[in-house]
Amino acid sequence: MKLWAGRFSKETDAMMDDFNASIRFDSRMYRQDILGSAAHVRMLGACGIIPPADAELIRKTLFEILEDIEQGKIEFDQSAEDIHMNIETLLIERIGQVGKKLHTGRSRNDQVALDFRMYIRDEIKNIKALLADMEQTLIKLSESHLDTIMPGYTHLQRAQPITLAHHLMAYFQMFRRDIERLDDCYKRVNIMPLGSGALASTTYPINRMMVAEELGFDGITENSLDGVSDRDFALELASCLSIIMVHLSRFSEEIILWSSSEFSFIELDDAYSTGSSIMPQKKNPDAAELVRGKSGRVFGSLMALLTVMKGLPLAYNKDMQEDKESLFDAIDNVKSCLGIFIKMLDTMKINKANMRNAAKGGFTNATDLADYLVRKGIPFRDCHEIVGKMVAYCIGKKIGLEDMTIEEMRQFSECITEDVYESISLEACVGGRKVPGGPAPESVLASIESGKAFLDAL
Ligand code: ARG
């Protein structure tokens, strides 16, 4: 017998049962559902809406059910539709009439909003912890590569020399913003919707704040229609997750490039690479490629959620049952991507010599040569022109700017003297960029310190 069967004179068709049921995917919210019900029923007892002894028995039995689920003793029943009715059915099976009082003053509409918010709240904490691990890994790597010179790129063309630490700390900033975005999202997730009822609240003298307090919410929703129909918090999380995946995907792309023999900046550990079934020599960066690929899937979840919510009239509509699978999938994938990425970074080998050689080629010190001429009193635009000509000359001779003799250099500008060589060494190019946010080791160290303070305060 279905809990709502009263007004029906026929059984639901088996195909309809299957189509309608969400237990396949919402069973993962069993813990939140039980804790939410336990808080609700305690409040019903405390407010004299049901006898306190009944409330106590229901609460105790709910916790027993929780333990049985956790020990794998319970199989959910598809004909009970969703996690909410599965738990309620189990409760009634165990304590009969008293169990039937649990759903007083509540609807599945505010119940599912509650469970979903509680579930998301827990997962935000898990994802934040993984992001913090990622940040620790980046700091650890950066600390040992403050002097590891590599080319910085624009348009994927070598541009100016930087260090690996500086490059990695750029990702630190991205993941830091991701953590901050999750914190901000959390504020709107952590609002308690129970008491909204089906849509128009309830006539019972319930105490919503009491429930909110037991469950650790920061406040209660202020409109019952909004309480049951709002899924902004899910959209916000999906957006946060999508942005995390943008960052991971860009990072993946660099790892893939860097591990190619054309770059040879890094070598991924065997434990996080795979081979080819036909080409014996292959070692592929599959972890990074999968992360790059899964970004598409997470963006898809965001788009799916936006599209499900678009155009829904107030308040609850069954369309909204479609909110869970997409978000769960996005959450699962972001967690597994972060987990594997951290291990991949932690174990990769860095080929400092190849990074340095790449920085040496490609005239990455050309800007510094122009800046040298500026210091000799020439306006920057003219310096740019002079150095451009010097670069063209060097390309013809297949040499670097620093390989020109002083006589060759002086053909382009009389202002150039012997001190030019130390001004355009890679160390000078990097070390001279001491401005806050620059690649000089002391500047990167300062950003590492501020990063550590951020992590310590989490
Ligand atoms: N399984 C449903 C969901 O996920 C629970 C709410 C159902 N409410 C209803 N009136 N049918 O949205």
Mean pLDDT calculated for residue range 355-374:
95
Of 199, 213, 217, 211, which is closest to residue 107 (Cα–Cα)? 199
Domain, as residue range, for 381: 366-424
- Each residue's pLDDT tens digit, 220-256: 999 999 999 999 999 999 999 999 999 999 999 999 9
* DSSP element (H, E) containing 369: helix 366-375
* Ligand 1 center–CA 112 separation, angstroms: 7
Listed residues 53, 79, 104: the one ending a domain? 104
Q: Among residues 441, 411, 44, 94, which one has the least CA distance to residue 211?
A: 44
Let me know if residue 54 belongs to a domain: yes
What is residue 222's predicted lDDT score, i.e. its pLDDT? 98
Q: Select from 29, 103, 229, 318 the residue to mutate for testing ligand 1; criterion: most ligand atoms less than 8 Å from CB.
A: 318
**Pairing mode of beta strands 191-192, 157-163:** unpaired
243 and 209 within one domain: yes
What lies within 8 Å, CB to CB, of 381 at 6+ separation is none
Atom of ligand 1 at shortest range from CA of 81: 1
Please tell me the predicted confidence (pLDDT) of residue 279: 83
Mean pLDDT, the chain, rounded, equals 97
Whichever domain contains 332, its CATH number is 1.20.200.10
- Chain centroid offset of residue 252 CA: 14
| Domain co-membership, 265 together with 134 | yes
Determine, yes or no, domain membership for 267.
yes
348-379: b (≥16 Cβ within 10 Å) or e: bebbeeebeebbbebbbbbbbbbbbbeeeebe
Of 144, 260, 276, 450, which residue is the catalytic one? 276
204 near 47, Cβ under 8 Å? yes
| Co-location of 276 and 420 in the same domain | no
pLDDT tens string 92-138? 999 999 999 999 999 999 999 999 999 999 999 999 999 999 999 99
Averaged pLDDT, 423-429: 96
d(CA 247, CA 439): 20
What was the pLDDT predicted at 2?
82
pLDDT in tens, 79-90: 899 999 999 999
Last residue of a domain, one of 86, 104, 122: 104
**Burial of 384 per CB tally in 10 Å (0-12, 13-18, 19+):** middle
77 in a domain, yes or no? yes
Residues 304, 255 share a domain:
yes
Q: What is the ipTM of this complex?
A: 0.96
Check if 155 is active-site. Answer: yes
Give yes or no for residue 1 having a pLDDT over 80: no
Dihedral, 161, 165, 170, 173 alpha carbons, nearest 10: -150
Same domain (yes/no): 293, 402: no
Active site residue 261: no
Residues 142, 34: one domain? Answer: no
Q: How far apart are the first and last CA of the chain?
A: 49
Alpha helices in 376-440 (DSSP H): 380-397, 406-410, 420-423, 426-431
Mutate to test the pocket of ligand 1, among 112, 116, 328 (most ligand atoms within 8 A of CB): 112
Burial of 422 (0-12, 13-18, 19+ CB in 10 A): exposed
Of the candidates 446, 371, 378, the one whose C-alpha atom is nearest the C-alpha of residue 401 is 371
Quick one: how far is CA 137 from the chain centroid?
16
* Per-residue pLDDT at 283: 86
- Measured distance CA(352)–CA(354) in Å, rounded: 6
Domain for residue 312, yes or no?
Answer: yes
Q: How many domains does the chain have?
A: 3
Q: What is the mean pLDDT of residues 290-312?
A: 98
CA neighbor of 291 nearest in space, from 349, 237, 342, 348: 342
Using the predicted structure, report yes or no on whether residue 337 has a pLDDT greater than 90.
yes
